[in-house]
Amino acid sequence: MGGGAARRRLGPAMAACLVLCLAGCASGEGPAGARAEPHRDGSVEVSDGGVPEDSVPGTWESEVELQNDREQFLADCMTDQGFEYVPTVYPPEMDAGAGDLNLYLEIGYDPEAAVELAREYGFGLFLDTDEWERFVLAGSGGDPPPDPNHEIFEALSQSEKEAYTRAMVGDGGCWNMMEGRFPLALPSDLDDDTAEALDAIGEEFDERLAADPRIAEAEKDLMECLEGAGLREGTVWAEGYMEERFRQVTGLGFDEAAAADFGEVDEGVLGELRAEERRVAEADARCQAAFHTVRDEVGLELEREVIEDHPEILDMLADSP
C-alpha cells in the first residue's frame, strides 16, 4: 500500500482539522502567537513552535511575516515542480495582539462535510499512499472563502492531480520541505511569571471543562448514538473501535500491520474491513454533531468565566515583552 502507519494515524486532533475545519488546516497554522494543540475534550495546550535545526536563515518580526514566508516557499517549490500554487497572504492585522487569550479551540463542526469525508475515506485507517494524499487534500478544501488552489487542482487531469498531490504532500514533497525549513510559530517571549500564570489558568480551565456535567451528558448521548449504530456499548472513540475490530478479524496488531502496509492481510478480508470502517465512520460523523455542539457551547462559556475570574492575566499579557 505504501506510506506506513505514521501518516495514516490521524488521531482526533488531526481528524478534526481535516473533517471539521476544512480549509482551516492551512489557515489554522496562521498567525496566532503560538501553536494550539486541541485535546479531544476541547481544551487547548499551547506550546512554542520551535525552530528546526535546518531552518532557513532569517528572522521574523511577526507571525504574519513567518506564515507569509511559509506560503511563498510553497508557491516557489510547486513552481519548481511544474505546478501553480497561489500563496495565502495574511494581512498585518491578523497578528494576535497583546492581551489575546484563547483557552478553548472552537471546532465549528460541519456534519455534512464530516459525513461526506467519512463516506469516502472512513477514518483513513486502510488507505494506500495515493488515497491518503487525496484524503488530506479533500479535507483541506472548502467553500468560503474561495480557494484558487482548489480551482487549479480541479482543472487538472486525473494523472496531473496525482502528480500535483505527490509534489505537494508526498514524501519529500513541498509541504514536508517547508515544515523542515520553517518554524511552525515564533518562540514565545513571555516572562516566567506570565508563562506560569497562563499554565495555571489553562489547568483550571481543563479541570472545569472535564468536570462540567453538560459534557458528561453529551458524551453519554454520544455513546448511546454509537451503540444504536451497532458499535459495542460504551464506545466513545469509534476509530479505536475499528482498530480493535481489525485485531479481532485478523489476529494482528493494527500498528504493526499498518507499518507493513497490511501485506499479511488477505485482500478480501481487508476489503470487508474497509467497507465496515466507512459505515462506522459515517455513523460516528453523524453522532458527533450533537456532542461537538454542546462542547463548543460549554467550552466558550467556561473560557469567558475563567478569564473573568482572572482579569490580571490580560494585564500581564499586555505588559509582557
**Residue appearing with cell numbers 456534519:** 111
pLDDT for 136: 76
Cα-based distances in Å from 76 to 3, 71, 81, 320: 25, 9, 9, 36
Which pLDDT score, from 0 to 100, does residue 60 have? 76
Side-chain-side CA neighbours of residue 74 (13 Å): 19
130: burial class by Cβ within 10 Å (0-12, 13-18, 19+)? Answer: middle
The pLDDT value recorded for residue 43 is: 36
Distances 75 to 62, 81, 84, 176, 292 between C-alpha atoms, Å = 20, 10, 7, 13, 35
Q: How much is the pLDDT for 269?
A: 95
Residue of 314, 224, 231 whose CA lies nearest to 280: 231
What burial letters (b/e) apply to 268-279, b meaning 16+ CB within 10 Å? eebeebbebbbe
Rounded to whole angstroms, how far apart are CA atoms 284 and 8? Answer: 18
Q: In this structure, what C-alpha cell is assigned to residue 30?
A: 496562521
Report the relative pairing of strands 35-38 and 44-47 from DSSP bridges. antiparallel
| Residue 37 three-state SS | strand
What is the C-alpha separation between 106 and 113, in angstroms, rounded? 17
Q: Name the residue among 281, 226, 318 with its Cα closest to residue 111.
A: 281
Contact 47, 54 (CB under 8 A): no
Secondary structure of residue 212 in the 3-state scheme:
coil
Q: At what angle do helices 267-309 and 238-250 cross, to 10 degrees?
A: 150
Report helix, strand or coil for 2.
coil
Phi, psi of 301 (to 5 degrees): -65, -45
Q: In this predicted structure, what is the pLDDT of residue 188?
A: 64
pLDDT in tens, 47-92: 333 334 444 545 777 788 888 999 999 999 999 999 999 998 888 7
Cα distances (angstroms) measured from residue 39 to each of 36, 50, 214, 220, 287: 10, 20, 17, 18, 19
Q: Which three cell numbers, joined as nine digits, stand for 159? A: 494523472
According to the model, what pLDDT value does residue 261 have? 83
Query: Cα(135)–Cα(122) distance, rounded to whole angstroms?
Result: 10
**Beta-ladder partners of 38:** 44
- Collect the ranges in the chain with pLDDT lower than 50: 1-55, 57, 97-99, 142-144
pLDDT for res 95: 54
Q: What is the pLDDT of residues 183-230, one digit of tens each?
A: 877 666 677 888 888 889 999 999 999 999 999 999 999 999 999 999
pLDDT, residue 58, reads 57
- The grid cell for 55 is 531552518
Residues 6+ apart with CB under 8 A from 188: 33, 34, 48, 195
